[in-house]
A and B are shown apart, each in its own frame.
Chain A
Amino acid sequence: MNRFLLPLGIFIVLVAFLAVGLNLNPREVPSPLIGKPAPAFELPQLHKPELTFAPKDMQGKVWLLNVWASWCVSCRQEHPILVELARTGTVPIYGLNYKDGRADALRWLKQYGDPYALSIADAEGRVGIDYGVYGVPETYVIDKAGVIRFKQIGPVTQDVLEAKILPLVMELSK
């Protein structure tokens, strides 16, 4: 056995790991909330601050909770997809306006379109902490019993929508 082959051997193992690593997504972190009831809250609505919204209002319905903000660049990327989804009326989308100014948020919706059944203002980000939000945008699929069934971190793409979110929504709505 040629001991000078050792560096080559180590390198081959490393390349194998790197090759496997390429097909993994380091940003995909499993959420401990999946399969758990959506954390309760009651927050003022963005458009009508005198009214509030709570997840229990949605008992018996399948719905999406989308965390967004006017300062969030990636939100602009997923926004047309959400607007399109809202137009089809497949599933109601509720927006959690995260750490944002009310005026900025309203202007943003006016400019880019409003796909949300309604938006809730989480100016302090408290609810965001309960939901483990660590990157905006994030999207949750919540079932009729109020249990989180899926979480998308980062923008919703057409692929994710068609491959994961819509089939799940269909199944849950049965």
Chain B
Amino acid sequence: MIPELGHFALILALLVSLVQGTLPLIGAHRGNSGGRAWIALARPAARTQFLLVVFAFACLTWAFVANDFSVVYVAQHSNSRLPLEYRLAGVWGGHEGSLLLWMLMLSGWTVAVSLLSRHLPDAMTARVLGVLGLIAVGFLAFILFTSNPFERLLPAAEDGRDLNPLLQDPGLIFHPPMLYMGYVGFSIAFAFAIAALLSGQLDAAWARWSRPWTTTAWAFLTLGIALGSWWAYYELGWGGWWFWDPVENASFLPWLVGTALIHSLAVTEKRGCFKNWTVLLAIAAFSLSLLGTFLVRSGVLTSVHAFATDPRRGIFILILLAIVIGASLFLFALRAPKVGLGGSFGLVSRESLLLMNNVLLVVAAGSVLLGTLYPLLIDALGMGKLSVGPPYFNAVFVPLMVPLLVLMSLGPLARWKHADMAAVLRRLTFALAAAIAIAIAVPLIYGKWSTLTAMGVLLAAWVAGGSAVAIIERLRAGGLGAQPLHWWGMHLAHVGVAVFVLGVTLVSSYQEEKDVRMEPDDTVSVGGYSFRFIGVREATGPNYRAMVGELELSRDGKVLRTMKPEKRAYLTSAMPMTEAAIDTGLLRDVYVSLGEPVGERAWSVRVYYKPFVDWIWGGCLLMALGGIVAISDRRYRMKKAAASAAIVQGAPA
């Protein structure tokens, strides 16, 4: 009964979103006199739709908790012996449920707009909620017509087929919700852009309204990607943290464009220029989120994430994609020629630096997109099969990031309209000197010179140095406490980038790994740590049997701890899984994974020494934190009147 209620709630949600996606938009078009009643429908419709989707989601969750194997989706992705936390997360462990999660996020964001938009003109809110309603129509129809999670299985299965063992990890609990919060969050920036195009009001006010939403979505996406990368690192047992897999790229593309969007929104808000460009970026960021969904769900590309793929679903998403993106680009083509250019700026100014930032990020996104789709393009042209691997991405992506990092210190110090580059560089002299000294010192400390390593360290130190100079200057001027939170947010995020770059540089330069055959009492050492193999014993988990290896980690003869990498065999799928043992530290990780038995008592064992690897995710965390700090700025919560007054004055940064 409960699954039917969930199904029914989804059907109702579709009907409500049809109302939400049409009447308020028509009402806003007809203007205040005739359309007021229809405009007023937007908020209640958004809230009703949200409650219905939450109810449907709760019904599916109940089916998982209660082990209702008469529901096909539950029977395919759960098992009576699956621990409760994975039964809860198993809700989004497959195609149907992850779409429902997508939908839950969309209606969650929509209801947030309906609650936090009191300072917006009603017609604007109606348009934004209307556009979001239309997107909801598309996704609810997709779920109901091709991917119904509530479909029954008669007669019911005795027991479920179990969740894919790769997914039975705390990573599943946090990674998809965070990622989807980010992905779907860009729908708000998109809806604001479309609403602005519809109304013809592409102005600073529009940019100011979009900014906190865009930054929030971006912060979630940053966290989601970082969590996914960390999960891959400890779960797959290869010690890698980024594979340029099509699905990873699908989440990285909106991130790159979203990063460009955050910066270009700043210019549009402060100086009124780049309007068309900003609108196009807002459309692109969400379009890439949709494209990512298509790539993941249709199976047009091979990927480690390829769970269930079905061409019929692919056609549906492709049509959805074509309608949503095609219509918005068409609207853009109609309206963009009438948009003014905004304030003028000099060749050297903060505007031009941010323009370069945008060009670099968009070109980077373009090259990642090309690399991701290239196998498909070549295949579609009948020119053969090929795959594009990390060498392409590293060769193209890294050189594009170098100028971007160089610019990162200059931008925040340059003035709007017209900047004196010589003066900016003079302010950065000390930072540059310190960065060069650190860049030379670090490889020497590690005892292995490499120019590329020095370059990476130099860039990281330069970026951090730029923020340090900005902060120190304000401190000297005595105005540190008066600095707005969004200023602090920016510097926090920039320092996060520096931390990230340092982590990537050091781990790729100085990591050590060994793949060895070990018998009890054998010892192997990497990076100054030695591992003594004690042996392997059997253990049983709730739904798996495991071989647990024991290794004694020591350094300079001092025993630090025992590490226990596992090799698990899950009862239902017989798929072997490795669980690496990791000793995490601020300056290094030591990582052991158990391979195969190779003889009576011998096992193949892989050991890694990974310096500064956690700085990669630490940097991402700082970036996301920067985003959160920035949106906490109170100027985004100003009352209607105050907000418009500030825009008229064109508040300086």
Contact = CB atoms under 8 A, between A and B. Distances in A.
B576 interface: yes
B298 interface: yes
B574 A20 contact: no
B300 A26 contact: yes
B301 interface: yes
Contact of A18 (B284, B318, B333, B576): B318
A23 B298 CA distance: 10
B336 A18 contact: no
A163 interface: no
Interface string A7-19: 1100110110111
B329 A26 contact: no
Interface in B271-302: 276, 280, 283-284, 287, 294, 298-302
A23 B574 contact: no
A73 B575 contact: yes
Given A22-B298, A22-B311, A17 B373 contact: yes
B574 A70 contact: yes
Interface string B409-449: 00000000000000000000000000000000000000000
Interface in A14-48: 14-15, 17-24, 26-27, 29-30
Nearest to B385: A29
B500 to A, nearest CB: 30
B40 to A, nearest CB: 34
A19 B318 contact: yes
B202 to A, nearest CB: 13
Given A4-B332, A5-B333, A73-B574, A18 B294 contact: yes
Contacts of A22: 298, 300, 311, 314-315, 318
Given A7-B280, A70-B574, A71-B574, A15 B333 contact: no
Interface string B305-325: 000000100110010011001
B573 A73 contact: yes
A21 B376 contact: yes
Nearest to B300: A21
Size band of the interface chain A makes with B: 20 to 34
Contacts of B385: 26, 29-30
Nearest to A70: B574
Nearest to B311: A22
B527 to A, nearest CB: 32
Contacts of A23: 311
Contacts of A71: 574-576
A70 B314 CA distance: 33
B375 interface: yes
Contact of A4 (B333, B375, B379, B574): B333
Contact of B376 (A15, A17, A29, A70): A17
B478 to A, nearest CB: 48
Given A7-B332, A71-B575, A73-B575, A15 B380 contact: no
21 contacts: A5-B333, A7-B283, A7-B332, A11-B287, A15-B322, A17-B380, A18-B300, A18-B321, A19-B318, A21-B300, A21-B376, A21-B380, A22-B311, A22-B318, A24-B300, A24-B376, A24-B379, A24-B380, A26-B385, A71-B574, A71-B575
Interface of A: 2, 4-5, 7-8, 11-12, 14-15, 17-24, 26-27, 29-30, 70-71, 73
